[in-house]
């Protein structure tokens, strides 16, 4: 199936000669405050265990919308054409998206692709108060960025963060953001799927992603995906357009899980970037969906490929060399099966990814693997994860 994935930031750019880098429709908001509420599906009232009250979509909007901001980034791109006589030209434009306050000290979370290449970032609050924001740090591998504003004179309303590990298919969801520049729009839906994988701006993959049918459109990037108790469970990042003209919503949106943000935000606030260990493999999760393959274990990570020159290759980790088809998915059989890392059981490929990325260059990990029915331990010294994916790299 051909997929057309679109980051849900909204960007436009113009140059002095009138050529456009990106073309979007202009919306005249008339300088006024616009609030649009779209009720996509009924949201059942759910008891908030802490507050002891039942929250409706209206309640959640009143509670959380003041903490959602409109992010504008002034972007400069350097390009070169045969008519530039070898001199790069600067093209200026604006990228817009959403974000939300996470702490009273002025910390705001958004998507990395909303502020990539930004020379200036401003955020607008519900009362039309607009202030300059500093990009404290960003991580393209998770498409997350941390902004900071001076809290002085601002009545900041931090949103409560939930637990994305408890999210289940069918749970109600609410998205609040600024699609196409329409400020603080609310849409509702449900969790359509969990444990999805999407591609990050640097070419790596983001695992454990939440899929929702709550309407998400360009401009929603960086906005919160909220559960029925008013807690943030994800950061809206991409949509599946299905090839539709203009890249509008077709009912498939993706949010980076909030637990991923909880893990990396402290690093971004401390050093502006995230250091990750690098193993150099791709793998798939062994679960009941692979039961027809008669694998020797019910859970684990089956190695699909090993990047040449990587730590995994140096340690002798082996990929499969037998191709198989299962439910339309191509699988490489015969490779190592990772069953534990540093003695901790591996249930899915996400366990491998999380264990490795929690480390840094030079750290050692011990992989417990099954190879040809025999269990063995392999110690690997991790490298520093590349800043972007290389051709042919898993």
What is the rounded CA–CA span in Å between residue 80 and residue 33?
Answer: 39
137 falls within a domain: no
What is the rounded CA–CA span in Å between residue 361 and residue 240?
Answer: 35
What is the rounded CA–CA span in Å between residue 181 and residue 184?
Answer: 9
What pLDDT band is residue 142 in, cutting at 50, 70 and 90? very high
| 285 shares a domain with 260 | no
306 falls within a domain: yes
Query: What φ, ψ does residue 165 adopt, rounded to 5°?
Result: -75, -15
| 263 shares a domain with 213 | yes
Tell me the C-alpha to C-alpha distance, in Å, between residue 64 and each of 34, 55, 104, 232: 16, 12, 14, 9
Q: Which of 271, 290, 311 is the last residue of a domain?
A: 271
User: Active-site residue 33, yes or no?
Assistant: no
What pLDDT band is residue 77 in, cutting at 50, 70 and 90? low
The active-site residue out of 64, 73, 113, 207 is 113
Q: Which residues have a Cβ under 8 Å from the Cβ of 264 and sit 6 or more positions away? A: 139, 142, 144, 274
What is the rounded CA–CA span in Å between residue 102 and residue 71?
Answer: 15
161 compared with 385, residue with greater pLDDT: 161
115 compared with 182, residue with greater pLDDT: 115
Q: With H, G, I as helix, E, B as strand and everything else as coil, classify residue 196.
A: strand
At 33 the pLDDT is: 43
Burial environment of residue 1 by CB neighbours within 10 A (0 to 12, 13 to 18, 19 or more) = exposed
| 378 shares a domain with 284 | yes
* Structure token digits, residue 335: 């490779």
**pLDDT above 90: residue 159:** yes
Residue-wise pLDDT tens digits, 178-229: 988 888 899 999 999 998 989 999 888 898 899 999 999 989 999 999 999 9
pLDDT above 90: percentage of residues in the chain: 64
Q: Quickly count: other Cβ atoms within 10 Å of residue 190's Cβ.
A: 18
| 281 shares a domain with 329 | yes
| 258 shares a domain with 282 | no
Place of tokens 């339309």: 328
Pairing of strands 46-47, 54-55: antiparallel
At 329 the pLDDT is: 82
Please count the CA atoms within 13 angstroms of the CA of 17 that sit on its side-chain side: 6
Residue-wise pLDDT tens digits, 222-265: 999 999 999 999 999 999 876 655 556 678 999 999 999 999 99
What is the rounded CA–CA span in Å between residue 6 and residue 379?
Answer: 39
Positions of E strands within 56-204? 68-79, 89-101, 107-110, 118-124, 130-139, 144-148, 172-177, 185-199
Mean pLDDT of the chain: 84
The active-site residue out of 143, 213, 259, 351 is 143
* Structure token digits, residue 117: 């290449």
| 243 shares a domain with 321 | no
Lowest-pLDDT range, 18-27, 65-74, 316-325?
A: 18-27
| 244 shares a domain with 323 | no
**pLDDT above 60: residue 319:** yes
| 258 shares a domain with 209 | yes
| 330 shares a domain with 300 | yes
Query: What φ, ψ does residue 73 adopt, rounded to 5°?
Result: -120, 125
Q: Cα torsion for 37, 40, 44, 48, to the nearest 10°?
A: -50
Q: What pTM value is reported for the model?
A: 0.72
93 falls within a domain: no
132 falls within a domain: no
DSSP helix, strand, coil percent of the chain (3-state; round to 5):
15, 40, 45
Q: Which of 271, 299, 315 is the last residue of a domain?
A: 271
User: Active-site residue 113, yes or no?
Assistant: yes
User: How many domains are contained in the chain?
Assistant: 2
Beta-bridge partner residues of 68:
100
What is the rounded CA–CA span in Å between residue 143 and residue 237?
Answer: 8
The domain that holds 334 is classified in CATH as 2.30.42.10
**pLDDT above 90: residue 124:** yes
7 compared with 64, residue with greater pLDDT: 64
What is the rounded CA–CA span in Å between residue 108 and residue 101?
Answer: 4
The domain that holds 219 is classified in CATH as 2.40.10.10
| 261 shares a domain with 340 | no
What is the rounded CA–CA span in Å between residue 36 and residue 287?
Answer: 43
37 compared with 294, residue with greater pLDDT: 294
90 falls within a domain: no
Lowest-pLDDT range, 49-63, 150-164, 168-182?
A: 49-63
299 falls within a domain: yes
Shortest CA distance to 115 belongs to which of 131, 89, 133, 100? 133
What pLDDT band is residue 386 in, cutting at 50, 70 and 90? confident
Quick one: average pLDDT of 13-24?
Answer: 29
Quick one: average pLDDT of 117-138?
Answer: 95
57 falls within a domain: no
Q: Which domain holds residue 262?
A: 164-271
| 281 shares a domain with 261 | no
What is the rounded CA–CA span in Å between residue 349 and residue 352?
Answer: 5
User: Active-site residue 143, yes or no?
Assistant: yes
At 391 the pLDDT is: 42
**pLDDT above 70: residue 330:** yes
Q: Which of 237, 271, 305 is the last residue of a domain?
A: 271
Report CA Rg, the chain. Answer: 22
| 298 shares a domain with 207 | no
The active-site residue out of 98, 221, 283, 310 is 221
Lowest-pLDDT range, 66-80, 117-131, 279-293, 358-372?
A: 66-80
104 falls within a domain: no
């Amino acid at each position: 199936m051909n997929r057309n994935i679109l980051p849900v930031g909204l960007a436009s750019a113009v140059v002095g000669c009138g050529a456009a880098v990106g073309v979007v429709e202009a919306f005249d908001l008339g300088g006024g405050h616009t609030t649009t509420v779209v009720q996509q599906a009924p949201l059942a009232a759910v008891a908030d265990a802490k507050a002891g009250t039942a929250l409706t979509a209206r309640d959640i909007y009143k509670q959380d919308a003041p903490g959602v901001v409109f992010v504008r980034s002034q972007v400069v791109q350097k390009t070169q054409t045969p008519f530039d006589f070898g001199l790069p030209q600067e093209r200026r434009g604006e990228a817009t998206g959403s974000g939300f306050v996470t702490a009273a000290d002025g910390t705001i979370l958004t998507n990395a692709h909303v502020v990539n290449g930004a020379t200036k970032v401003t955020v607008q609050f519900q009362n039309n108060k607009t202030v300059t924001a500093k990009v404290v740090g960003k991580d393209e591998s998770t498409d997350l960025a941390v902004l900071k504003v001076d809290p002085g004179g601002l009545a900041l309303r931090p949103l409560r963060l939930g637990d994305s590990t408890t999210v289940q298919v069918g749970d109600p969801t609410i998205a609040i953001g600024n699609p196409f520049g329409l400020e603080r729009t609310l849409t509702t839906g449900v969790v359509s799927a969990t444990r999805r994988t999407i591609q990050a701006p640097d070419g790596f993959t983001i695992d454990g992603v939440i899929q929702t049918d709550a309407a998400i459109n360009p401009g929603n990037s960086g906005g919160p995906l909220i559960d029925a108790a008013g807690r943030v469970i994800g950061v809206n990042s991409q949509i599946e357009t299905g090839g539709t003209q203009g890249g509008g919503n077709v009912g498939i949106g993706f949010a980076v899980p909030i637990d991923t943000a909880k893990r990396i935000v402290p690093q971004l606030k401390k050093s502006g970037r995230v250091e990750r260990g690098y193993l150099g493999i791709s793998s798939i999760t062994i679960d009941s969906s692979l039961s027809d393959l008669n694998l020797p274990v019910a859970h684990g990570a089956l190695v699909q490929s090993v990047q040449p020159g990587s730590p995994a290759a140096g340690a002798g980790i082996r990929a499969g060399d037998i191709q198989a088809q299962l439910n339309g998915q191509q699988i490489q059989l015969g490779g190592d099966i990772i069953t534990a890392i540093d003695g901790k059981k591996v249930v899915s490929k996400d366990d491998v990814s999380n264990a490795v990325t929690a480390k840094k260059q030079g750290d050692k990990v011990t992989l417990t693997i099954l190879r040809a029915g025999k269990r063995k331990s392999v110690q690997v010294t991790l490298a520093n994860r590349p800043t972007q994916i290389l051709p042919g790299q898993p």
